[in-house]
Structure 1
Amino acid sequence: MVQEIYIRDDGIFPGNSLPALLYKQALDIPLIFAAAYVQSQFAEHNWTNSWDAGIFTFHHYHSITHEVLGIYSGKAQAQLGGDHGPVLILEKGDVLVIPAGVAHRNLNEKNAIAVVGAYPEGMDYDMNYGKPGERPDADRRIAQVPMPENDPLSGRTGELIRTWSIKQWL
């Protein structure tokens, strides 16, 4: 089951009409080479340009791409959408897809969880922090981010494609 989390503009962070998607326990993490396993799962569906680290402890968002996070170790609370946004429990095996414009941060220590992040079609990413002057340019960039061709776990038949395709036309 995939949880849809809607994050709207809070006046500081843009949010997105597309929901963030939380896939609980979607990855069967191996005991060795866990990060490489997650990277390969995402790359199989063309979510690349990956990195391996924790999640920043400050609010940030991307205005030129969507992002997927695959948790391969640990457990932490992550907040979406700014100081008043929902708090999610992320743990080993979870996958979180974050639409462009949705702020996110780790409420625990940066390295409380180990994460592989990736981007559809290997898109580059930028960093935005909700500072004065970022918008409306960031809003224009977010509106131009293309729909991913694949769900990061299931390709063209995955939950992201089904859910986001419907929301895109509402």
Structure 2
Amino acid sequence: MPILEDVKEYVQRATGMGRPGKKEAARLARPRKPHKVRFKDDGLIPNHPRWPFVIYRGAVEPADGHDPAVVMEDLFEANGWGETWRDGIYDYVHYHSRIHEVLGIARGKGRVRFGGNKGRIFTLKAGDVAILPAGTGHQCLSADDDFLVVGAYPPAGTYDECTTVEDRPRALKTIPKVPVPRKDPVYGADGPLVKLWKKPK
């Protein structure tokens, strides 16, 4: 599926076909209250020492004629979250120690464990958006055949992938230093994430 989605994305970007544009994408975001969860360091997965993992349920409902993956890409990019990709979620526990991540569910549903092996399992469905502060463990346990995720990252930070206990010493230093994003990937500068993830005093 990733290769097919890569081709589709290339064509959609080249032609503008099915793309709502950044202003219209913002109008397709439905107001939702954030569901917040704090995960503790479990000895392997650090999670974030201050900021919660956030889910917006059913936040994105694409209008007729728009590919939901395109809507999420345009929405995230409109709010400064870029380097978008389309794929699933890895089936092994991993986290990013130098960048935050947003995961928008474009199609299907999947059972995803966040927070590491001692974390919590969520069923994510089309339209849901999950926002992971740096350090948050995540792993797909099962998914529909058509499960499609759109991922993106804020401009400040560097992508990395941590999976082992050897990654921890560096990760424990870098995770708290990843800066607060300027905008919520779904709701922009006035979105809930900006208030939930505050700069340390």
Give TM-score, length-normalised by structure 2. Answer: 0.78
- Asked if 1:43 corresponds to 2:59, the answer is no
Which residue is equivalent to 1:138?
171
1:110, 1:147 → 2: CA distance? 33
5+ residue gaps, structure 1: none
Instruction: Give the greater-gyration-radius structure (CA).
Output: 2
In structure 2, runs of 5+ residues without a counterpart are: 1-32
Aligned partners of 2:156 and 2:181 also within 8 Å:
no
2:57 to 24, 27, 40: 24
| Residue 33 of structure 1: how far off its partner (Å) | 2.4
The structure with the largest helix share of the pair is 2
2:192 corresponds to which of 155, 159, 170? 159
AA of the residue aligned to 2:86: D
- Aligned-partner residue type, residue 90 of structure 1: L
Query: Residues 52-71 of structure 1: matches in 2 within 5 Å?
Result: 52-71=86-105
Match of 2:39 in 1: 7
For residue 132 of structure 1, report the CA deviation from its aligned partner.
2.6
Whether the 8 Å contact between 2:184 and 2:193 is mirrored in structure 1 is yes
Identity of aligned residues (%): 35
1:125 pairs with one of 145, 159, 181: 159
Higher strand share goes to which structure?
1
| CA apart distance, 1:68 | 0.3
1:93 aligns with 2:127: yes
Aligned to 2:30: none
Q: Does 1:74 align with 2:108?
A: yes
CA distance in 1, matches of 2:46, 2:58: 28
Distance in 2 of aligned mates of 1:117 and 1:82: 19
Report deviation, 1:169. Answer: 4.3
- Residues 102 and 185 of structure 2 are in contact (CA less than 8 Å); yes or no, is this contact kept in structure 1? yes
Q: Distance in 2 between matches of 1:54 and 1:29?
A: 20
Question: Taking CA–CA contacts closer than 8 Å with sequence separation of 6 or more, which of the two structures ends up with the larger relative contact order?
Answer: 1
SS, match of residue 136 in structure 1 = helix
Question: Over the residues paired in the alignment, what is the CA RMSD in angstroms?
Answer: 1.7
CA deviations 1:77-99 (Å, max 9, x no partner) are: 11011112111110000000001
After TM superposition, the score normalised by the length of structure 1 is: 0.92
Shift of 1:60: 0.5
